[in-house]
Amino acid sequence: MPSAAVVGGGPVGCLAALGLAHRGFAVTIYESRPAPISSSNGSAAGPSGSTARARSINLAISTRGISGLRAVAPALPGKMDLADMVLDGAVPMRARMIHTGHEQNSQAYSADGECINSVSRTHLNDLLLQQAESHPSVTVCYGHRLKRADFDKGEKARKGKAPADAEGECELMFGVDGQESPSVVSADLVLGCDGINSAVRDQLARTISFDFARSYIDSLYVELSMPAKLDAAGQPDFALDPHHLHIWPRHDYMLIALPNPDHTFTCTLFAPAGIFEEHLSGREKTLAFFEDKFPDALPLMGRDAVARDIAERRPSPLASVRCRPYHYKGRVLLLGDSSHAMLPFYGQGLNCGFEDVRVLLELIDRHAEEEEMPRPTAPAPTSRTHSRSDSGVSMSSRAPSPRALKPHAVSGAHPSTQ
């Protein structure tokens, strides 16, 4: 059974791990954060029980991301698939609501009623981690931070240039929480899903000529919240229309609010560093700023909560990443933010990461099918002799495929790979 090491147990890493596990890989996810309390195999973490508490942002998931969730495995009759589970904890947003200060303008996303879906990143990550942990072919190792990697270990061993002590093509070294000595593991395939500061990407840059750029913008962001209000019957209700992504645009800064199933909204303030320094330092200044710029939002968010959260939470930076190539020799691949982190204003970072997973799984399925087809006895057509597909995965029917990307078929009925 080919082995895959997925570095990073964020949403993209978990989805990729599940997709590979369904295709016959033995997958291990290595996540640097500690295990959640609820984890079946982990040590205790923070009181939240979540591994993703540090980033309590809400994400808008569109069809692009949902297609990635559906690509993992065919839905079983009468059972929810991954996409259904995620959408079950999401709130559909049919339009954006622009708050100008004097009025609200609703702008539909689609003439046909299509929507994007608001989901908490914490909820999404926890759900995917739980699914990964309960899959028999996936092991999740928390508290493991990638330090070094040798992506040519197997090749070197075959040439007698390294001890043949590893079983896989790549060797990875992790620092482990609470352990003095590092953990050294091997794997046939390595997926770098370790986000914007990817260590897999750093190791790749030490291995090959590699173009890389990370660009920060002047704006920072901070998470705020808007509680539920009580309706006439004393039941919790949304303070604003829940089927909108609410935006308070103010030239070079803005406030947004995305709904949650518990009738609250998660709000995010994006602003240049200068605004935080000048106008958001201290209770009086903060409240004066919100009263002036977001007068309709402040009472709904609560004056004390806004002043407290702005004082206590350190604003986070915003950056994008570009790199090239994304892969190495069919056995190392960067997915999600590690390869193309983008600014959140597009609402596409996670959607693109899930799309990466869909495309990878489709290519694996396509090549598995090709390998099942009978080989021609006549000389192979020239179109089959090229060795690169759009993913960099070998398509040649003459040269052997990279060992890592020859998975067993889901059914197990894949003679060429058993």
Number of residues interacting with ligand FAD: please give it, by CB under 6 A.
33
**Sign of CA pseudo-dihedral 147, 152, 153, 156:** negative
User: Is residue 274 a contact partner of residue 134, using CB atoms and an 8 Å limit?
Assistant: no
**Sign of CA pseudo-dihedral 344, 118, 266, 129:** negative
Pick between residue 168 and residue 195 the one whose CB is nearest to ligand FAD. Answer: 195
Pick between residue 195 and residue 242 the one whose CB is nearest to ligand FAD. Answer: 195
Determine, following the binding rule CB under 6 A, whether residue 39 of this chain makes contact with ligand FAD. Answer: no
Determine, following the binding rule CB under 6 A, whether residue 12 of this chain makes contact with ligand FAD. Answer: yes
Determine, following the binding rule CB under 6 A, whether residue 349 of this chain makes contact with ligand FAD. Answer: yes
Pick between residue 199 and residue 280 the one whose CB is nearest to ligand FAD. Answer: 199
Determine, following the binding rule CB under 6 A, whether residue 189 of this chain makes contact with ligand FAD. Answer: no
Pick between residue 28 and residue 351 the one whose CB is nearest to ligand FAD. Answer: 351
Determine, following the binding rule CB under 6 A, whether residue 28 of this chain makes contact with ligand FAD. Answer: no
Pick between residue 224 and residue 297 the one whose CB is nearest to ligand FAD. Answer: 224
CB of 59 to ligand FAD, least distance (A): 4
CA distance 262 to 206: 47
CA dihedral 154, 155, 158, 159 (to 10 degrees): -140
Residue 10, CA distances (Å) to 22, 71, 204, 375 in order: 19, 18, 20, 40
Structure-token match 């983008």, residue found = 342
Determine, following the binding rule CB under 6 A, whether residue 13 of this chain makes contact with ligand FAD. Answer: yes
CA distance 158 to 161: 7
CA distance 315 to 221: 5
Determine, following the binding rule CB under 6 A, whether residue 192 of this chain makes contact with ligand FAD. Answer: no
Q: Which stretch binds ligand FAD (CB under 6 A): 26-34, 79-87, 326-334, 357-365?
A: 26-34
CA distance 63 to 344: 17
* Residues between 132 and 151 that touch ligand FAD (CB under 6 A): 144-146
Determine, following the binding rule CB under 6 A, whether residue 10 of this chain makes contact with ligand FAD. Answer: yes
Determine, following the binding rule CB under 6 A, whether residue 119 of this chain makes contact with ligand FAD. Answer: no
CB of 206 to ligand FAD, least distance (A): 14
CA distance 359 to 315: 34
CA distance 16 to 14: 5
Determine, following the binding rule CB under 6 A, whether residue 199 of this chain makes contact with ligand FAD. Answer: yes
**Sign of CA pseudo-dihedral 417, 355, 11, 219:** positive
Determine, following the binding rule CB under 6 A, whether residue 359 of this chain makes contact with ligand FAD. Answer: no
Residue among 203, 351, 391, 394 that touches ligand FAD (CB under 6 A): 351
Residue nearest to ligand FAD (CB): 10
* Residues between 326 and 345 that touch ligand FAD (CB under 6 A): 336-337, 344
CA distance 57 to 93: 16
Task: Quote the tokens at residue 272.
Answer: 């240049």
Pick between residue 147 and residue 408 the one whose CB is nearest to ligand FAD. Answer: 147
CA distance 294 to 115: 26
Helix (H) or strand (E) holding 286: helix 283-293
Determine, following the binding rule CB under 6 A, whether residue 185 of this chain makes contact with ligand FAD. Answer: no
Binding footprint of ligand FAD on the chain (CB under 6 A) = 7-13, 30-33, 57, 59-60, 121, 144-146, 193-195, 199, 221, 268, 336-337, 344, 347-351, 353
